[in-house]
Structure formats: structure tokens, C-alpha cells
Amino acid sequence: MPHSTQPDTTVYPPSDDTVARAHVDAARYDEMYKASITDPEGFWGEQGKRLDWIKPYSTVKDVDFSYGNVSINWFSDGVLNVAANCIDRHLATRGDQTAIIFEPDDPDTPAQHITYKDLHEKVCRMANVLLSQGVMRGDRVVIYLPMIPEAAYAMLACARIGAIHSVVFAGFSPDALANRVNDCGAKLVITADTAPRGGRRTALKSNADAALLHCSDKVRCLVVKHTGDQTTWINGRDVDVNALMETVAPDCPARPMGAEDPLFVLYTSGSTGKPKGVVHSSGGYLLFAAMTHEITFDYHEGDVFWCTADVGWVTGHSYIIYGPLANGATTVMFEGVPTYPDASRFWQVCEKHKVTQFYTAPTAIRALMGQGNQFVEKSDLSSIRLLGTVGEPINPEAWNWYNEVVGKGKCPIVDTWWQTETGGHMMTPLPGAHATKPGAAMKPFFGVEPVVLEPQSGEEIHESPTEGVLCIKDSWPGQMRTVWGDHERFQQTYFSDYKGYYFTGDGCRRDADGDYWITGRVDDVINVSGHRMGTAEVESALVAHAAVAEAAVVGYPHDIKGQGIYCYVTLMNDQNPSDDLVKELRSWVRTEIGPIASPDVIQWAPGLPKTRSGKIMRRILRKIAENDVGSLGDTSTLADPSVVDDLISNRTK
């Protein structure tokens, strides 16, 4: 399954059906987009009415993008409650409609249909449990749960009482969990006994036990009894959530919150070793999640929306929970994996629940494409009207397969480019308004003004076609507000390289039609199966092992994962390379960070290519990993050019 290096320039205009049904057609897009850029106050002031406000806002936008003074505020004097917007306001009209369809890992376990009324009661009970544990407005709650309804209850319960949640992906290791609990100063952790996935079980509670050894002994642990598997139990610290939910009141008032009060913190990797706590607001974030969910996916009443992401990532926050529920939709929550019990699972779930919009990652598409078309063809996918992708650039082969085999050439594909930091979609074709091109993110969403900068000078490039670094000129309501506990790091990371702009860290191309194509990260962040990974994080994990003297990590093209993790490792003098040591280092990184960081390739490096000032030349390491040694470029500035020859001749195939 080779990846093309040339873009596929075919243009697919929207079908008449799609245009007729869509909320936004081409003319409307142009008109709305123009208004959103020329009059953001007026535009967003109007859009803000999508939400229910306890006290309406009188100011819309108050933003400063200048380095040193960065400050981002939307609807700042407005008062609302996010959970009330996602639940209570729907009760009168759709209390008996399904809010969440829970599809368990095991296809023989019946799905659960949770109505808005049910959701209201569960969230209220969970909120009362949190209150009973002393959680107050502004306190942080870490949620370390698998894809089960309790994850949604916990997030919304925090929102209901004004606590700030931080969901930690259940695939992260105890160390990664402990770092996050400590960084945000969480008062409690919510976890589950064990988590079934693909027929296997992850021991979540025992991971939490291991993590909590490194945290304050004041941190409580709320345990969801999901599988009933046995776990250790520490009296006084561990609390049985399900039992307590039965005893507390089924009602809990939704607390009035300021639009700028933080809704959640979500950790994401950057180019330094320590993940950043991305802080999102209550008002602006929810509005942006709801509006993008409706318009990008052309959501209509009665649709069944399925985003296959995990709630541990921002995609799950915005498009499993907050966007769909704010719109009163039916959202699917899937506990399992695409290939269990076999590669037809996604399509079987689409058929079973009559999914109308399906949103997944290119890595999943590539993996399923490799299994053959029969798995798709045995399922009835006639309910699907629209397909979406997110997380990484999609190669034309995967796009075309998705379009033809899954969508039968009838479903628009929205390739949505965005980031943890942006809260919601930033660039995507809109179904009734834009043509699509295999691999292009096409057009900016309303209120988003992308600019392509010349990387060195930072000058805006106005002509097309062109290529450069992607920045955003002004704020949008879903933008992150700060890095938890470190506003300086926020400014440094996003506002210092190109002054006056938000720097995305991505490169991009604008073609002759003015359409955007994301080309990938321009920093030391790699994208492994749609998960963002700082190479520095993997390096710090490796050097923490006693046998390792030095390590350098780069990405390289990988057929399924998009990018794989290639590690150059220099051992301590007294250590000898061996296959056992490769295995040991792999499992070491898995325990330090989690399985998603597992190295694909480990190459022993007696020396690393460094400049005379000691800086590792990653450009060269990337070329060797890509097996593109013909274009290494200038190596004359290296302190010891001979290390390059050694790395090339000992390249791990």
C-alpha cells in the first residue's frame, strides 16, 4: 500500500442532494464567511444565541494576540452552564429521545440507549457524588475511564457543578497519569475496575493505584464497577461510585458559570518533554463545538452521529460529548476497536444503529482498507450520508477507498483540520458549499482567518499556489485560553515565533484555487496513528533507562500509522546492544508513557550527528530514517561527519 507523493488533483463537486439538504450552500458560505471576518463582534454576537444563557453577554470579543500581553476572552460577562446546555434545555422537547447510544466492546452485549431524561438523572447523581466528596467550583477532577457512559456522566457532572475536568486517555501509563494529576492539582481521580477492549482487559484501577503512589495522599479515587473484576481497595481513599450514586439525590442544580470559567484541561504533547495542559473555556468552546458539529457534519434532527475517537482526546470531547449534546443529537459511544471481533465491526455498528454521519481517523481507514472490501460490503451502509476524517493528513489512496467503498461515491468527505488547541474544526470543506479534493482541508471555517507565512521572514504570502507555515490571524471562540499554570509557556509556544499570529505548528500548501492542504508538523511533534507525540517525550523516557546514554527520536513514513517512531539510541559504555535490550527498551517506553509511544524502530547509534555546539541535527536523522540518504544536504558543519556513515550503513531495515 504505497503512499503517493503526488497529490490527487481530482475535484469532487457536491451533489445536488447534498446542496439541497445542507444548512450552508456556496453563496451562504461566502456571505457568512465575509461577515465573520469583517465583523466578528456582530457575527459571533448572533451565533452566541445558539446557547442558553443564564445572563446574556454584553461584550462579545476581547482579545490581544501581542506577545507579552496575550489575552483571549469571548462573551466574558455572560453566565451559563454547559451541562444545562447539553441536557436540561432539551428535556421539554426531547426528554425521551436517545442522547447516547453505548455500544459495548463485545458485540453480543446489548447496546444501551440513554435518553436525555436518563442522562439528566445520571449526571445529577454523579454531580452529587462529587459534591459529597468535597469537590467545589474550580477544583480539578481527573477522569481516567474507558469509553463507557460514566465517562460522559463524569465530564458533564463536573460541568454541572463548575469543577474542571481533565480526561486522561485510558491507554496512558501510571506515570503519565500521575504527572497529569500532579500538574493540575486534582482533588480526585475517577477510574474503573477494568476496561475491556478488543476482547482484552486493561487493569485501569491498578494503573491508578500505581499512579497515586506518586500523588498527594489527599487525592481520592472514585471507582466505577464496570466489569466487576476484582481490584485492590484502600478504605478511606477508594469510593464505589455506583453504590454512592444510588444513595444521593437524583437532582442537582446547574451552577451558573462565567463564560470564561475553564471547562476542562486536556494534556497534549509539544516539542518539549512535558505535555501542556490546554485550557478551554465554557462559553466560547461550547458554542464553537456546537456550531462546527452542526455545520461541518450537516447535522439534522433525527440523525445518529458517530465519532469513533476516544473521549481521552479533544475529538471525543468536542464531537462525542459537547457538540452533539449541545445540539440535542443522538451520539454513539463505542467501547471497542475497529477490528474486533473482525474488521467489519465499524460497519456492523453503522448498520445496527443506522448511523448517518461517520467520523474517523485516516489510520483506521488505512488499517481497514488493508483487510479487504468484503468486510464493508457485507454491511448495509445505506443510512450513512456523510463521512469525516481527522487527526492527520489523509493519503489519496485511503481517501479514494473511503469515498468509493464506504461512501459508494455518494457521501461528501469532510477532511477536518484542527488541533487540541483550537477546540473545534478550523478548516474543512462544508458539505453543501464546497467541492472536495482527496487530502485537502479546503476552506476555513467561519471566523477563522488562515495565513501562510514565509518560514524565515514571517512575511504573509498572498499569492497562490504557495507553501509555508500556517498561522491564524485572529481569535475564534473555541481557542484555548492558556496553558494550565503557565501562561508564559502559552505565549512562548504559540505567539512568539511569528508575532501577532497564532502559530499552529503545521505547514501548509495553498493551491491555485486557494484551497488549503495541510502538509504536517514543522516542529518536533510527530503524528502516530492520529495521536500527537512529542519526540522529546520519547527521548526523555529512553534516557531514563539505566542502559541509555543518549537518544534521538524522529518520525518516518509508516503505511498504517502515518508516521512511525524511529529511535536512535546510544548506550552507556558498559552496555552491549542485543535483541533483548531492544525488547526491554520498547516495553520501558510503553510503561513510561503508554502503548501509543511504543518505538517502531530502535537503531543503535555509537554517536549522533551534532553541530560543533552540540545540537543534534535531526534533519539528518529524519533523512536516514526515511531511507532518503541521497539528499542529506550539508553535513560539513557536523562535529564528526563520520557518525553519519555509520548510521547509514547500520540502518535498521
| Residues flagged as binding site for ATP | 391-393, 415-420, 506, 521, 532
**One of 25, 105, 183, 506 touching ligand WT7 (CB under 6 A):** 506
Indicate the residue among 40 and 312 with the shorter CB distance to ligand WT7.
312
As measured in angstroms, the least distance from the Cβ of 524 to ligand WT7 is 12
Q: How far is the CB of 416 from ligand WT7 (least distance, A)?
A: 5
| C-alpha–C-alpha distance, residues 388 and 302, integer Å | 19
Nearer to ligand WT7, 527 or 535 (CB): 527
393 lines the binding site for ligand WT7 (CB under 6 A): yes
C-alpha to C-alpha distance for 83 and 88, rounded to whole angstroms: 7
The grid cell for 123 is: 449526571
Convert residues 108-127 into a mask of x (bound to ligand WT7 by CB under 6 A) and - (unbound): --------------------
3-state secondary structure of 600: coil
The reply on whether position 418 binds ligand WT7 by CB under 6 A is yes
Backbone dihedral region of 227: left (phi > 0), alpha (psi from -120 to 50 degrees) or beta? alpha
CA 567 to each of CA 235, 335, 502: distance values in angstroms, whole numbers, following the listed order: 43, 32, 31
Residue nearer to ligand WT7 on the CB measure, 114 or 387: 387
Separation in Å, CA 349 to CA 275, 304, 378, 399, 416: 34, 11, 12, 21, 23
The least CB distance from residue 440 to ligand WT7, in Å, is 9
Contact 430, 444 (CB under 8 A): no
CB of 85 to ligand WT7, least distance (A): 22
Non-local (6+) Cβ contacts of 253 within 8 A are none
Binding segment (CB under 6 A) for ligand WT7, from list 418-426, 460-468, 493-501, 636-644: 418-426
417 makes contact with ligand WT7 (CB under 6 A): yes
Assess 505 for contact with ligand WT7 (CB under 6 A): yes
282 within 8 A of 84, measured Cβ to Cβ: no
Contact between 532 and ligand WT7 per CB under 6 A: yes
- Exactly one of 290, 321, 367, 390 binds ligand WT7 (CB under 6 A); that residue is 390
441 in contact with ligand WT7 (CB under 6 A) = yes
Residue 65 in contact with residue 502, Cβ under 8 Å?
yes
Q: Which of 419, 464, 575, 652 binds ligand WT7 (CB under 6 A)?
A: 419
Asked if 119 and 94 touch (Cβ cutoff 8 Å), the reply is no
- Count Cα neighbours of 393 within 13 Å in the Cβ-side half-sphere: 25
Which 3 state secondary structure label does DSSP give 644? Answer: helix
Closest CB to ligand WT7 among residues 277, 609: 277
256 vs 520, which CB is nearer to ligand WT7?
Answer: 520
Give 617's contacts (C-beta < 8 A, 6+ positions apart). 609, 610, 611, 635, 638
Out of 36, 207, 395, 420, the residue judged to bind ligand WT7 by CB under 6 A: 420
Among 179, 327, 363, 527, contact with ligand WT7 (rule: CB under 6 A): 527
CB of 339 to ligand WT7, least distance (A): 21
Q: Which stretch binds ligand WT7 (CB under 6 A): 190-198, 216-224, 398-406, 514-522?
A: 514-522
Pairing status of strand 386-390 against strand 413-416? parallel
The minimum distance between CB 504 and ligand WT7, in angstroms, equals 6
- Least Cβ distance, residue 534 to ligand WT7 (angstroms): 11
Site for ligand WT7 in 312-371 (CB under 6 A): 314-315
Binding mask 242-271 for ligand WT7 (x = CB under 6 A): --------------------------x---
CB 598, min distance to ligand WT7, A:
17
Query: Which region among 498-506, 564-572, 595-603, 641-649 touches ligand WT7 (by CB under 6 A)?
Result: 498-506
Whole-angstrom distance, CA of residue 479 vs CA of residue 422: 5
Q: Is the Cβ of residue 61 or residue 521 nearer to ligand WT7 in the bound state? A: 521
Locus of grid cell 444563557: 53
624 binds ligand WT7 (CB under 6 A): no
Quote the CA–CA distance of 101 and 111 in Å, as a whole number.
7
E-assigned strand segments in 203-340: 220-224, 238-240, 257-258, 262-268, 276-281, 304-307, 330-334
Q: Tell me which stretch binds ligand WT7 (CB under 6 A): 38-46, 516-524, 572-580, 626-634.
A: 516-524
Known binding residues: 197-200, 315, 391-393, 415-420, 506, 521, 529, 532, 543, 545, 548, 590
Which amino acid is present at 60? V
Among 140, 521, 561, 610, binds ligand WT7 (CB under 6 A): 521
> Of these, 139, 175, 303, 392, which contacts ligand WT7 (CB under 6 A)?
392
- Closer residue to ligand WT7 (CB): 322 or 417: 417
Spell out where 209-255 has E strands: 220-224, 238-240
The DSSP string of 11-74 is -BPPPHHHHHH-S--HHHHHHHHHHHHH-HHHHHHHHGGGS--SB--S--EEEE-STTS-EEEE
> 579: helix, coil or strand?
helix
Query: Which of the ranges 137-145, 186-194, 292-300, 415-423 carries the binding residues for ligand WT7, by CB under 6 A?
Result: 415-423
Considering the complex, what minimum distance in angstroms separates the CB of residue 642 from ligand WT7?
Answer: 35
- Cell output for 348: 456492523
Task: Tell me: does residue 415 bind ligand WT7 (CB under 6 A).
Answer: yes
The x, y and z cell numbers of residue 218, run together, are: 489527599
Chain residues 267-296 in contact with ligand WT7, contact rule CB under 6 A: 268
In the annotated binding site for Mg(2+), the residues are 543, 545, 548
Angle of helix 116-132 relative to helix 149-161, nearest 10 degrees? 60
Cα gap 117→363, rounded to integer Å: 36
* Residue positions forming the annotated binding site for CoA: 197-200, 315, 529, 590
Residues that bind ligand WT7 (CB under 6 A): 268, 314-315, 390-393, 415-420, 441, 504-506, 518, 520-521, 527, 532
